[in-house]
Structure 1
Amino acid sequence: MSHSTLTAIPAQTTATRRGSAGAAAGLAAYTTAMERGDAPLFGYLVMYSIYGTETGVSHQELQRWFTELGLHQDFLPAPITPLNAYERVTGKTGVRTSYRLPESTPLSGEKVEATLMIRHVSREPHQITRHLVREVRDEGRLQLSYDPGLAEIIFQRADRRQPGAGSLQIVPNAAAIAALAPPEQDTVRATLAEVEDAYRRQCHFYSGDQLRTLIRTYIEALHAVRVRPSGGVYFVHRAHAAPLAGLRELVARFGAGSSLTRVPLPDDEEMREMVIDAFTTKAEEELTRLSLEIATARAEGASQAQVQALLRRFDAVKDSTTEHSARLATSLKSTEAALQLVHAQMASLLTSAC
């Protein structure tokens, strides 16, 4: 019995390897054929990953790359300003430091953790003020103490005629810092140095989140269909192959680890069904939300700006439905029916808003 088992395993492994090799060869041949135009191409599954939280990509560099790659300048993010940098560094996703303290709580003996974080204080015409605070919690997340002001982190606005211009000023509270144990004093000083360094970098370079937003916005503007509910994987029709190629090269220039992958899809019934299902689900969810918001706007009243925002969203779904109906060579009946209902609601809202 042991002999037959030993001889069966290599046979299965060999077959598996042959199958894998055959599948890989088949995929390679199919991909090559599509690149030559010898096989019907429906479109691409598109996935991307922007590595890291900080990049070395400046506005000038990004603008030059857009020109070189033939990408539409309308999708360029706004130029970086000192105010942008301050908001990112001191905002919710900005600098934050957590560390364990040597003492434990008197009753439970649980370990305690201190967190240095930045909290907003005031926003005035000439400056924005935020504080570096220290919060101490136990393992049960019960707050034990709170030091509200270890330092002021201030953005001094410059000439009001230059939006976003200004400078960073950090004012440590020497007495409050001196009251901490020496190791914590070092941690506070290191955190303040990190704020200053991060601000200096982000005055010149986009963050990873900003570049992710850029790529997502551009892909979605190509009438992309999100084929995974949680996002991150899109279908883009072959008609948009040129900008996709440009985006692929653009992401590669963001640095090591960043990539945009295009997986070619064959033009067959199964692929079409997948894309149609994904599109109709997304479109009908958006139309349902729109319907509820339009009903609320009619009942409670809405400003012209709010009405126009609803109209733009409706037009976007309508245009996308028209685009995909043509590209997919099919009638999206359920989506078109929902569009008609929301169109009637929208017309009624526009009439009442006049």
Structure 2
Amino acid sequence: MVMMTKDTTALYAVSGGTADNILGNLVWFSVSDMEILRDELVKLAVTVGLPEKYVPAPIRPSDAFRRATSEIGGVLRSNEEMTEVLMVREVLSAEERVIRHLIKEVRDKKNVQLHYEKIGEIEFERQWGTISTVALTDEAKPALHKAKVLYSKYRDYFISDHIRRLIKVALGDCQAVGVRPAGAVYFTPAAYEPTIKALNSLVKTLPGNAVEMHYLPVVNATEQKQMLEEKLRGHVLSQVSQIGSMLGGNAQVLNVKKTLKSLAAEFAVTLRAQNVVSKTTANHAIYQLQELKEQVAEYENLLESNLGEVRATIDILRKQVRIMLDRVSTESGVA
């Protein structure tokens, strides 16, 4: 038996055991810089039995363009008298094209002045997914070349952010609950072990050593159940706080609440004061609260614990959002 330290999970894990004696798994992972074609990732996922739905959608060329051009700015040169900074500014975003300018900002420290000069231009053609550049000065050429290189990379290859998103979405479907505030360590119920195993197999087949994932089973014991119930309540608090923030609440205020009851009261205040939230946002909040309620019910069965007050509170919050949605629809003239 291996005991995870207090700084990580404070949960006991075992390297083996019968299925009847296992609550679920502790899962942790890390992702560093990597590149992989989407088609290759899809093939690997299918091979290990992971549904293709977890693979992020194909990259939009316009997103690759914006990401690439956003990374070419920075300090060109600096001394005691002045600093020259390269900035990228979007001047046009139309149906057929996007244009961004390279601007050199000169910060004159001696005379406390700012000077601006356009030194280059980058144009993205949406129909063809191509970019063209114009260098007005020699110092713009390295940045423009870098933009082209990065665009080719981000257009064709998934990077670490995509892999991280894949794992997190899959863990979300596995009803994962974070058990370590300062790091990516999660608990997933035993029912989702096939997905966890498929994820782990996928990680092992990815090129290089950029992604790492481990999982250990958690034994079915009173101490572990109590710990998981505590973590679940914390998870619910965090999720409700995020939903409240999405609806216009003060995230800093919401996050300091110590109980679901007090958080719910703050949530109610937010909804009474909020009149500008969109119908789409309100419906999304209702959906998230329903998903959260179902997750709580699943853990209630797993932990053999009565979490009825948590489910009831979530139901109240859903009704409050529904009332707000009806009010906003009426005020905006939406039937």
Q: TM-score, normalised by structure 1?
A: 0.73
**How far did residue 99 of structure 1 move?**
5.2
SS in 1 for 2:314: helix
Structural RMSD (CA):
2.9
Letter in 2 for 1:33: G
| CA distance 1:301–1:130, shift in 2 (3 Å) | closer
Counterpart amino acid of residue 261 in structure 1 = H
Structure 1 231/221 Cα, relative in aligned 2: closer, same or farther at 3 Å? farther
Q: Pick closer, same or farther for the CA change 1:254–1:315 going to 2, 3 Å.
A: farther
Report the Cα offset of residue 235 of structure 1: 1.0
Q: 2 CA distance for matches of 1:228 and 1:259?
A: 17
Matched residue, 1:284 = 237
- Which residue of structure 1 aligns with residue 4 of structure 2? none
Kept in 2, the 8 Å contact 1:90–1:118? The answer is: yes
1:58 Cα deviation after fit? 1.1
Q: Is the 8 A contact 1:119 1:133 kept in 2?
A: yes
Distance 1:167 1:293 in 2: 49
Output one character per residue of 1:89-140: Cα deviation in whole Å (capped at 9) or x when no partner.
123xx23343543x312xxxxxx5543332222212221111222335599x
Structure 1 contact 225–278 (Cα < 8 Å) conserved? yes
> What whole-Å deviation, never above 9, does each CA across 1:309-346 have from its counterpart, x for those lacking one?
22111111111111211222211244224224214424
Instruction: Report SS of the residue matched to 1:206.
Output: strand
1:47 corresponds to: 28
Amino acid in the other structure paired with 1:134: K
Distance 1:351 1:189 in 2: 55
Q: Tell me which residue corresponds to 1:264.
A: 217
Alignment partner for residue 132 of structure 1, among 99, 102, 111? 102
* Match runs of 1:247-326 below 5 Å: 247-252=199-204, 253-288=206-241, 289-290=243-244, 292=267, 296=271, 300=275, 303-326=278-301
On the 8 A contact 1:132/1:152 being kept in 2, the answer is: yes
Q: Which residue of the other structure, out of 58, 69, 74, is the alignment partner of 1:90?
A: 69
SS in 2 for 1:57: strand
- Would you say the 8 A contact 1:153–1:168 is kept in 2? yes
Does 1:149 find its partner at 2:80? Answer: no
Q: 2:189 aligns to what?
A: 237
**Which secondary structure does the structure 1 equivalent of 2:158 belong to?**
coil
Q: Does structure 2 retain, via aligned residues, the 8 Å contact 1:280–1:332?
A: no
Question: Distance between the aligned counterparts of 1:90 and 1:343, measured in 2?
Answer: 42
Which string of whole-angstrom CA distances, capped at 9 and with x for unpartnered residues, describes residues 122-164 of structure 1? Answer: 212221111222335599xx98544342211111121xxxxxx
Change (3 A) 1:251 1:95: farther
Out of 37-46 and 194-203, give the one that drifted further.
37-46
SS in 2 for 1:134: strand
Query: Structure 2 length normalisation: TM-score?
Result: 0.77
Summarize deviations over 1:224-254 as a string: whole Å, max 9, x none. Answer: 0011234522111121111111111222315
Matched-pair contact (CA < 8 Å) for 1:137–1:145: yes
Q: How many angstroms apart in 2 are the aligned matches of 1:314 and 1:233? A: 23
User: Which amino acid counterpart does residue 131 of structure 1 have in structure 2?
Assistant: H
1:1-354 → structure 2 map (5 Å cutoff):
31-34=14-17, 37=18, 40-52=21-33, 55-91=34-70, 94-98=71-75, 100-101=77-78, 103-105=79-81, 113-136=83-106, 145-158=114-127, 165-174=128-137, 177=138, 185=139, 188-252=140-204, 253-288=206-241, 289-290=243-244, 292=267, 296=271, 300=275, 303-349=278-324, 352=327, 353=329
CA distance in 1, matches of 2:65, 2:30: 26
What fraction of aligned residue pairs are identical, expressed as a percent? 22
Contact 2:15 2:216 in 1 (8 A): no
Number of residue pairs the alignment of both structures matches: 293
Alpha-carbon separation, structure 2, partners of 1:38 and 1:237: 12
Structure 2 CA distance, aligned partners of 1:228 and 1:138? 48
User: Which amino acid in the other structure matches residue 120 of structure 2?
Assistant: A
Look up the equivalent residue of 1:262 and give its one-letter code.
Y
* 1:351 Cα offset (Å): 5.5
User: Which residue in the other structure is 1:17 paired with?
Assistant: none
8 Å contact kept, 1:43–1:236: yes
Query: In 1, distance between residues paired with 2:19 and 2:288?
Result: 39
Shift, 1:41, TM fit? 2.2
**Which residue of the partner structure matches residue 25 of structure 1?**
none
Q: Any gaps of 5 or more consecutive residues in structure 1?
A: 1-29, 106-111, 159-164, 178-184
Amino acid at match of 1:322: A
Q: Which residue of 1 aligns with 2:255?
A: none
Look up the equivalent residue of 1:46 and give its one-letter code.
V
- Structure 1 window deviating more from structure 2 (332-341 vs 291-300): it is 291-300
